[in-house]
Amino acid sequence: MTESVNFWAVVPAAGVGKRMQADRPKQYLPLAGKTVLEHTLNCLLQADVFSALAVAISKEDPYWPELDCSRHEHIITAAGGQERADSVLSALKSLSAQAADNDWVLVHDAARPCLTVADIRQLINTLQQDEVGGILALPSHDTLKNVAADSITQTIDRSVIWRALTPQMFRYGMLKQALQAAEGNPAITDEASALEMQGLQPKIVEGRPDNIKITRPEDLALAQFYMKQQAQQREQQND
Ligand code: CTP
Ligand code: MG
């Protein structure tokens, strides 16, 4: 008999969005008729694989209770933390009564609303038999340079450079332990880096280039373009 393993989603949504320079955190900005965060959560719900979604929300956040999805039966609210890693750890802890160490957790940035169900399935199908887990990533297309004081010191071998995206998929117990061990370390900017610190080597799975993170003002228009394109693709597939 195969053991039954559950899947959980963790969504860090407690950032202030400083680089976006908007009047509210970027996860609450409007995009194609909904907020950024609603698009993100809808995609995770549509994947129909998660037992629940744990969303980390800042204590001073007046926008979250206004969204219908804050009361969704499969969505759990956790307190956000100082840094992204603290928010993720807090959301993981909110699942401790339900999640088993061997269960899989997919951590996905609230600020990546163009995620597709296809990419979620691709990540899960590729990694669910893996020992460690891994992340969606993209190969680098640009030529990359090492720079010191405005001058190039070296050209980096592009073939070994990948850009880390989310979701990042790891075992519940292993991820919680790795984040606890790394608490307060500013170098831990994603889940994979916490696992790497434990001497583990997470896998990469090539993701779609439209899974962008909304970071700066110009990214919102790009996200809108990708959403429109995805909707057109879905229509064509249904024709
Ligand atoms: N995040 C979080 N808790 C924090 C910081 C960030 O949950 N203390 C979340 C953000 O809400 C976002 C994701 O982590 O969904 C990725 O972080 P980032 O893009 O850096 O968002 P912000 O920190 O909000 O933006 P900025 O760095 O420009 O302030
Ligand atoms: Mg940030």
What's the CA-to-centroid distance between 184 and ligand 2, angstroms?
A: 15
Pocket flag, ligand 1, residue 84 (CB < 6 Å): yes
At residue 106, the pLDDT reads: 99
Residue 16 CA to ligand 1 center (angstroms) comes to: 6
56 Cβ inside 6 Å of ligand 1: yes
- Check pocket membership of 77 for ligand 1, CB cut-off 6 A: no
- For residue 99, is pLDDT > 60? yes
Residue 2, pLDDT score: 55
DSSP 27: G
Q: Given a cut of 70, is residue 157 above it in pLDDT?
A: yes
Whole-number average pLDDT of the chain: 97
Query: Counting ligands in written order, which one lies closest to the CA of residue 214?
Result: 1
State the architecture of 7-133+165-238 in CATH terms.
Alpha-Beta Complex (3.90)
Ligand nearest to the CA of 219: 1
| Cα gap 120→41, rounded to integer Å | 13
Is pLDDT of 108 > 70?
yes
Kindly give the pairing relationship between strand 104-107 and strand 162-171.
antiparallel
**14 CA → ligand 1 middle, Å:** 6
pLDDT at 238: 86
Ligand 1 near 83 CB (within 6 A) = yes
pLDDT surpassing 60 at residue 204? yes
Tokens 């680089």, residue? 19
What is the Å distance from ligand 1's center to 77 Cα? 16
- CA-to-CA dists, residue 177 to 48, 63, 89, 180, 198, angstroms: 27, 31, 9, 5, 10
Decide if 67 contacts 23 (C-beta within 8 A).
no
CA distance 19 to 2: 46
User: Is the minimum distance from the CB of 113 to ligand 1 under 6 angstroms?
Assistant: no
**% of the chain surpassing 90 pLDDT:** 95
- What count of other Cβ atoms lies within 10 Å of the Cβ of residue 190? 19
DSSP state of 46: H
What is the model's pTM?
A: 0.97
Please confirm whether the linkage preceding 167 is cis (ω < 30° from 0): yes
SS3 string, 213-235, reads CCCCCHHHHHHHHHHHHHHHHHH
- Spatial contact of 174 and 180, defined as CB atoms under 8 Å apart: no
Q: Nearest ligand, CA of residue 110?
A: 1
Q: Which among 160, 156, 162, 161 is positioned nearest to 144, based on CA atoms? A: 156
Cβ within 8 Å of residue 83, ≥6 positions away: 186
